[in-house]
A and B are shown apart, each in its own frame.
Chain A
Amino acid sequence: MVRAGVVGTQLPTSGLDIFGDLRKMNKRQLYYQVLNFAMIVSSALMIWKGLIVLTGSESPIVVVLSGSMEPAFHRGDLLFLTNFREDPIRAGEIVVFKVEGRDIPIVHRVIKVHEKDNGDIKFLTKGDNNEVDDRGLYKEGQNWLEKKDVVGRARGFLPYVGMVTIIMNDYPKFKYALLAVMGAYVLLKRES
């Protein structure tokens, strides 16, 4: 694609001259850029929603937030979850659950399971690195977790990749700066 430069001036060669690109765009190309941006955003959203349907879990990829499962998982590690209804909850499994009324998902291991004939199941969890079980973390008076509290079962693991999310949570200014730079870059950079 030929760069439409004004006759007589030097065409910019540095990769940082994105405002130069913007000056040379006409309306049509601007609309194209915005559409491009929208395509990227909606593709990401589609992939995420598709994963939710495929795995049966409301949050199929989680970042480990605490050190309660060390030395297996550290803060910043990524976990891939599934939550198929046919998979029964069994002792030893690593589950991600949310305590009723709280937003933060917790990643711990199942240490006790009691299942009735009709399929009703109640279970107890404990972090590998904790001394005691999780009854102190549950709601007041709650002694067991049920299937409805489970976000998913940990099936896959990727180290360190989730660190970006933790940095963005701990330093929100960094998150806004990153989003602004990325947005500006996608909107202004022209493909040549």
Chain B
Amino acid sequence: MNTVLSRANSLFAFSLSVMAALTFGCFITTAFKDRSVPVRLHVSRIMLKNVEDFTGPREKSDLGFINFDITADLENIFDWNVKQLFLYLSAEYSTKNNALNQVVLWDKIVLRGDNPKLLLKDMKTKYFFFDDGNGLKGNRNVTLTLSWNVVPNAGILPLVTGSGHVSVPFPDTYEIMKSY
């Protein structure tokens, strides 16, 4: 222990071990926590069109429009090992073409330190709600759920669905309007 190099070596090895132990501690103390909270969802407006999807397949497909409200308190999810939550509102339904469809309509990043109480009213969807075909017309059961991806400082990346969903029927007719 009498040269600069061997001292630096020991110091480096020690710091690395301490950091590894801390990281493992962070992971193991939060690995089995339940990250779910109740969520209240409400849909205020539904509209349906049938247009060409210019972003992808060229045929005409159903395009849905939804305005929604979200109420949730995410405060209990955040702890020392949660860096951020990636929230996403997804619509799940089944059609003649496809047994299962899931479309993410809206998302939000909530970092640790941001306001964890969500009180959103009359929100428009962030992404176009295109179906793969014409399966939204007259679809009685389109279920909206709010889920989140917990991003830790180190450890498991779980996907958690909030408890609380809303099922809405889509209209039987299309709105005829020139543009989106």
What is A's interface to B at a CB cutoff of 8 Å?
Answer: 14-16, 71-73, 90-94, 109, 111-117, 122, 124, 128, 133, 135, 143, 154-159
Asked if residues A154 and B157 are in contact (CB atoms below 8 Å), the reply is yes
Evaluate contact between A71 and B109: CB separation under 8 angstroms.
yes
A31 and B6 alpha carbons, distance in the complex (Å): 28
CB pair B102–A112 under 8 Å, yes or no, is: yes
B101 touches A92 (CB 8 A): no
A114 lies within 8 A of B101 (CB): yes
A116-B97, A116-B99 known; A93-B159 Cβ under 8 A: yes
B30 partner residues in chain A, CB cutoff 8 A: none
The reply to whether A72 and B151 form a contact with Cβ atoms under 8 Å apart is yes
> What 3 pairs between A and B have smallest CB-CB spacing?
A91-B102, A111-B104, A113-B102
- Contact check, B104 vs A92: say whether CB atoms are below 8 A apart: yes
Chain A residues near B88 (CB-CB < 8 A): 91-92, 111
Interface size class of B (residues with CB under 8 A): 35 or more
Quick check: A156 and B155 within 8 Å, CB to CB?
yes
What are 7 A-B residue pairs whose CB atoms fall within 8 Å in the complex?
A: A14-B3, A111-B88, A114-B97, A155-B157, A156-B156, A157-B151, A157-B152
Distance of A159 Cα from B98 Cα, bound (Å): 38
Which of A72, A117, A133, A154 contacts B55 (CB under 8 A)?
A133
Check A15 against B159 for contact (C-beta < 8 Å): no
Q: Is the Cβ of A72 less than 8 Å from the Cβ of B100?
A: no
Q: Of A90, A117, A143, A155, which one neighbours B102 at CB under 8 angstroms?
A: A90
| Chain A residues in 8 Å Cβ range of B83 | 71-72
Given contacts A114-B98, A116-B99, contact A91 B156 (CB under 8 A): no
**B100 partner, pick from A73, A113, A157, beta carbons under 8 A:** A113
Decide if A156 touches B90 in the complex (CB within 8 Å).
no
CA A182 to CA B5, docked complex, whole Å:
16
Assembly CA distance A16 to B8 (angstroms): 14
A94 to B84, CA, bound (A): 15
Known pairs A92-B147, A128-B86, A143-B56; A115 contacts B156 (CB<8 A):
no
Query: Which residues on the B side are within 8 Å of A109 (C-beta)?
Result: 86, 149
Would you call A92 and B149 a contact (CB within 8 A)?
yes
Which of A73, A155, A157 has the most CB atoms of chain B within a 10 A radius of its CB?
A157
A73: chain B residues within 8 A (beta carbon): 151
Which chain A residues lie closer than 8 Å to B23 at the CB level?
A: 158
Complex: A121 Cα to B61 Cα, angstroms: 18
- Other-chain residue from A72, A117, A133, A155 in contact with B84 (beta carbon distance below 8 A): A72
- B156's nearest neighbour on chain A, judged by CB, is A156
Residues of B within 8 A of A72 (CB): 83-84, 86, 109, 149, 151
A111-B155 in contact (CB<8A)? no
Bound CA–CA A168/B57 (angstroms): 41
- CB neighbours (8 Å) of A156 from chain B are 155-157
Cβ-neighbour of B149 out of A16, A94, A115, A122 (below 8 A): A94
> How distant is the Cα of A93 from the Cα of B155 in the complex, in angstroms?
16
Q: Closest CB-CB distance, A73 to chain B, in whole Å?
A: 8
User: Quick check: A15 and B99 within 8 Å, CB to CB?
Assistant: no
In the complex, A129 Cα to B90 Cα: how many Å?
19
| Across-interface contacts of B101 in A (CB, < 8 A) | 113-115
